[in-house]
């Protein structure tokens, strides 16, 4: 774990779960693997607080436990899964995707499960139905069956999966010998279990309940007691569902490829690529370099009705896609009118390369970007060759190269002519390696998001007094309106915030919105670079 990743994880944990969990989490990330006692001792927090924090982290799938170094008889050891903490940045994107695919119901299901980490199907359905009923006009309520059908669709398309069953973790029970704890180094993946996507049979009928604001406290208590007894009746206790992040990532990757094709070529080509990807969704494994081969006949049959293109036109489009230098689509055979695949890894590499080039362009200007692109294509060039190929005057080329070199975007490769590396008798070649540069940029992105979060916290802290005052006034206004006050009283309360304060509040809100928006946008770049880097590594 790099320093920037640890810092970002700490900030995210603090935002969502508070200071205590942040302290426990960052210490555990830095130490790697620890037992409970060691963790409590080193963080100097009370044991109960440490236990609570670990429960929270495990509930959200960010912490895992396993048999320690001393085997099943020794104390249990805990370790943090950093990627899941970094995924917290992307929660809005997951929820928005679920909304665009499955509507409001799907959106709320994914939101509930993301916020609570793991949930049973019945409790999810009830909570979501209640929330939807709350937003509906009076008299209507949401039927459970609709929510159940949305849930089933999410599971069928693998966006939700069952949490992997845990071996019994009791160290004192005699069954510990028969069911060994998972070894810390090899976590069981959810997909290893055959029933990962099987829906349990539950008899859940009814409708969402509208919660009246007057009976808030009591109703919640009663509801809390009810859920404990209800779960055992519904028939799916012990079966918890979590969000399948990998599936969402595959979806985002497909979206990125499709939008790249539509930007570079045109809408019809992007539709063809979308059809190809849709057809090979379930047959392509997660880390495959290309999709399954599809024949042109199949693609023609599977195109959506709105695209009424003739068969020869489709062939022309496919040829265009194959000949395009971005190499999104490749031709692997001639049977069935031509067998075509989508080159996933190559597409990711090209998207990452485009990101790097655009970063250089925006930071250093278009001529530096030209030099950078040149070096990417030609691999190794001497300084004189760089000037000639890039058609940039010598002095400026030298300046730009040195700036890029100082930023570590360009590396210098020495090729000696003589065994002593005498400078006058050595070739100095400039080169760009895409993978290390992508890693460097990814770390920059983590640092950027960390800075954005810290700046937002700083802005909020600076104006804390003002924010609290505005919140109090809003509360007063709300209560006055609920009890039916006159307009004069309302305006009097509103005037308690002076005009310059109002302006200050508005500009504060504007800044916070901008910072949040930037975080979301940097996260898109993070996703692209992470996917590219993961695709170059061998599959686990």
Partner 1 sequence: MAGNRGRGRSQFTFNVDTLRFGRGDSLPTSAHTPSPLFPPMQFRPVPLHTGEEVDYMLALKQELRASSKNLPFHIKAARTKTDVARYSDKYQNGEPKYNCIEWSPDWSRMPKELCIKVQKTRKTGAKPQLTQKPKVAARKEEVLQKLETLEKREQEQHSEEEEDEEKKKQNEEEEEEPDEDYDEEELEDETDYIISYFDNGEDFGADSDDNMDEAVC
Interatomic CA distance for residues 423 and 410, integer angstroms: 20
Question: Interior CA angle at 178 toward 173 and 181, to 5°?
Answer: 80
| Tokens coding 91 | 């929660």
Q: Does 471 bind partner 1 (CB under 8 A)?
A: no
Q: Which residue has the tokens 């990807």?
A: 277
| Residue among 103, 66, 64, 92 nearest 80 (CA) | 64
- DSSP-derived secondary structure letter, 141: -
Helix (H) or strand (E) holding 506: helix 499-536
Q: How far apart are CA 502 and CA 511, in angstroms?
A: 14
Sites for partner 1 among residues 113-142 (CB under 8 A): 115-117
Nearer Cβ to partner 1 (6/20): 20
- Least spacing, CB of residue 366 vs partner 1, in Å: 10
Is residue 235 within the footprint of partner 1 (CB under 8 A)? no
- For the CB of residue 280, give the shortest distance to partner 1 in the complex, in Å: 26
Please pick, from the candidates 517, 534, 536, 539, the single residue that binds partner 1 as defined by CB under 8 A. Answer: 517
Per-residue mark of binding to partner 1, 169-208 (x: CB under 8 A):
xxxx------------------------------------
Residues 106 and 99: their CA atoms lie apart, in Å, by 6
- Let me know if 354 is exposed, middle or buried by CB neighbors in 10 A (0-12, 13-18, 19+): middle
Pairing mode, if any, of strands 240-243 and 63-68?
A: unpaired
- For partner 1, the closer CB: 172 or 214: 172
Asked whether the beta carbons of 202 and 235 are under 8 A apart, the reply is yes
The stretch among 259-267, 411-419, 423-431, 461-469 that binds partner 1 (CB under 8 A) is 423-431
Judged by CB under 8 A, the residue of 7, 65, 128, 242 near partner 1 is: 65
Is 96 among the residues that bind partner 1 (CB under 8 A)?
Answer: yes
Contacts for 32 with CB less than 8 Å, ≥ 6 apart: 79
The two structure tokens encoding residue 272: 């063809």
Residues 6+ apart with CB under 8 A from 204: 122, 125, 126, 144, 148, 234
User: How many angstroms separate the CA atoms of 329 and 311, rounded?
Assistant: 18
Segment interacting with partner 1, rule: CB under 8 A, options 26-34, 88-96, 250-258, 438-446: 88-96
Q: Which is nearer to partner 1, 52 or 439 (CB)?
A: 52
Q: Would you count residue 428 as binding partner 1 (CB under 8 A)?
A: yes
Q: Is 248 in the site for partner 1 (CB under 8 A)?
A: no
The C-alpha atoms of residue 523 and residue 86 are separated, in whole angstroms, by 10
End-to-end CA distance of the chain: 18
Instruction: State the binding string over 137-176 for partner 1 (x if CB under 8 A, else -).
Output: --------------------------x--x-xxxxx----
Give least dist CB 172 to partner 1, A.
7
Provide, rounded to whole angstroms, the least separation between the CB of residue 385 and partner 1: 11
Of residues 137, 325, 419, 423, which one binds partner 1 by CB under 8 A? 423
Structure tokens at 479: 């209560």
Rounded CA-CA distance 44/54 in Å is: 15
**Of the listed pieces 280-288, 360-368, 485-493, 531-539, which binds partner 1 according to CB under 8 A?**
360-368
How many residues touch partner 1 under the rule CB under 8 A: the total is: 66
Output the CA torsion sign for 277, 280, 285, 288.
negative
Q: Tell me whether residue 408 or residue 517 sits nearer to partner 1 (CB atom).
A: 517
Residue 411 in contact with partner 1, rule: CB under 8 A: no
Name which of 240 and 527 has its Cβ closer to partner 1.
240
Residues at the contact surface with partner 1, assessed by CB under 8 A: 15-21, 36, 46, 48-49, 51-56, 58-60, 65, 75-76, 91-93, 95-96, 111, 115-117, 163, 166, 168-172, 228, 238, 240, 362-365, 382-384, 387, 394-395, 398, 422-425, 428, 513-514, 516-521
């Amino acid at each position: 774990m790099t320093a920037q990743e640890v810092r970002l994880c700490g900030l995210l944990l603090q935002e969502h779960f508070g200071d205590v969990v942040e302290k426990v989490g960052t210490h555990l990330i830095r130490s790697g693997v620890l037992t409970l006692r060691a963790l409590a001792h080193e963080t100097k927090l009370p044991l109960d607080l440490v236990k609570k924090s670990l429960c929270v982290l495990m509930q959200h799938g960010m912490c895992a436990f396993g048999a320690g170094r001393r085997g099943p008889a020794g104390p249990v050891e805990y370790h943090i899964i950093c990627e899941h903490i970094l995924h917290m940045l992307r929660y809005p994107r997951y929820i928005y995707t679920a909304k665009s695919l499955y509507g409001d119901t799907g959106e709320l299901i994914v939101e509930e499960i993301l916020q609570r980490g793991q949930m049973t199907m019945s409790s999810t359905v009830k909570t979501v139905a209640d929330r939807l009923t709350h937003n509906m006009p009076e008299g209507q309520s949401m039927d459970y069956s609709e929510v159940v059908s949305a849930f089933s669709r999410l599971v069928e398309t693998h966006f939700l999966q069952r949490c992997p069953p845990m071996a019994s973790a009791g160290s004192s029970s005699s069954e510990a010998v028969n069911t060994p704890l998972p070894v810390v180094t090899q976590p069981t993946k959810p997909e290893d279990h055959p029933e990962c996507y099987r829906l349990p049979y539950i008899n859940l009928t009814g409708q969402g309940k509208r919660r009246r604001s007057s009976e808030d406290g009591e109703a919640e208590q009663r509801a809390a007691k009810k859920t404990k007894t209800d779960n055992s009746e519904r028939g799916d206790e012990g079966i918890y569902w979590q969000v399948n992040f990998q599936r969402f990532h595959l979806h985002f990757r497909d979206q990125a490829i499709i939008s790249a094709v539509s930007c570079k070529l045109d809408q019809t080509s992007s539709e063809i690529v979308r059809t190809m990807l849709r057809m090979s969704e379930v047959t392509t494994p997660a880390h495959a370099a290309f999709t399954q081969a599809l024949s042109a006949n199949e693609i023609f049959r599977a195109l959506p009705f709105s695209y009424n293109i003739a068969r020869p036109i489709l062939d022309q489009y496919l040829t265009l896609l194959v000949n395009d230098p971005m190499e999104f689509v490749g031709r692997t055979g001639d049977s069935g009118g031509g067998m075509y695949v989508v080159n996933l890894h190559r597409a990711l590499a090209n998207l990452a390369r485009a990101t790097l080039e655009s970063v250089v362009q925006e930071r250093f200007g278009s001529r530096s970007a030209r030099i950078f692109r040149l070096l990417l294509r030609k691999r190794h060039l001497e300084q004189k060759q760089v000037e000639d190929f890039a058609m940039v005057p010598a002095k400026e080329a030298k300046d730009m190269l040195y700036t890029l070199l100082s930023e570590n975007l360009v590396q210098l490769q020495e090729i000696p002519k003589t065994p002593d590396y005498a400078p006058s008798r050595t070739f100095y070649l400039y080169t760009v390696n895409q993978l290390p540069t992508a890693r460097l940029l990814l770390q920059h992105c983590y640092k950027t998001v960390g800075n954005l979060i810290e700046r937002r916290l700083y802005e909020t802290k600076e104006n804390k007094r003002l924010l609290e005052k505005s919140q109090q006034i809003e509360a007063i206004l709300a209560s006055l309106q609920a009890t039916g006050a006159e307009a004069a009283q309302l305006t009097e309360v509103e005037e308690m915030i002076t005009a310059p304060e109002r302006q200050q509040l508005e500009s504060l809100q504007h800044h916070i919105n901008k910072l949040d928006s930037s975080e979301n946008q940097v996260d898109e770049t993070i996703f692209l670079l992470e996917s590219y880097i993961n695709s170059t590594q061998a599959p686990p």
